[in-house]
Amino acid sequence: MEITQKIKRGTARLKDLPGDPHYVAKGMAIGIFVSMTPTIPFHTVIALALAFIFRASKIAAAIGVWFSNPLTIPIFYFASYQAGSLLFGDLAASNGVCESITDLLKLGSKVALATIIGGTVIGLGPATAAYFINRTIVVRMKSRQISLR
């Protein structure tokens, strides 16, 4: 399937999500934010809990965590560590590959803290962008749906 067809299919699914555009976009932003953090085994659970707390779309939050996938995880972990190292100073040199939060914790609590804080910091930008992009898409899709009736 061509990438443009996948994008069209994905945006069409957004209009079918229950709730107003703010509710759906907030859920997607939460999911994407969580996906940027190095909390791999718990992404969906954390996103659903935050969506519940912030009264956002749980379905959109669960979809948003898939922004993190086997191709992007190493990039996100590396960027998270780099951002955390800039904030806390170079805490440790790591040549190992971390595939889970457990592997990360084996490197030490300082490195783990730097990576978690770094992931939180770098997650804010994509989450904010995701909110506005998804809100715009949902508003347009739902207004077209209403005008067609």
What span, in angstroms and rounded, lies between the C-alpha atoms of 78 and 111? 11
- Report which DSSP code applies to 99: -
List, for residues 12-39, the tens digit of each pLDDT value.
676 678 889 999 999 999 999 999 998 8
| Interval 69-82 mean pLDDT | 88
pLDDT of residue 97: 59
What span, in angstroms and rounded, lies between the C-alpha atoms of 76 and 56? 24
81: confidence class by pLDDT, cuts 50, 70, 90: confident
List, for residues 124-147, the tens digit of each pLDDT value.
999 999 999 999 988 888 777 666
What one-character-per-residue DSSP string does 69-98 give?
-TTTHHHHHHHHHHHHHHHH-------SPP
9: confidence class by pLDDT, cuts 50, 70, 90: confident
pLDDT greater than 80 at residue 86: yes
pLDDT of residue 34: 96
148: confidence class by pLDDT, cuts 50, 70, 90: low
- Between the two ends of the chain, the Cα-to-Cα distance in Å is 30
Q: By mean pLDDT, which of 56-60, 86-90, 102-106 is the weakest?
A: 102-106
pLDDT of residue 57: 95
Instruction: Please answer whether residues 62 and 44 qualify as being in contact, where contact means their C-beta atoms are separated by less than 8 angstroms.
Output: yes
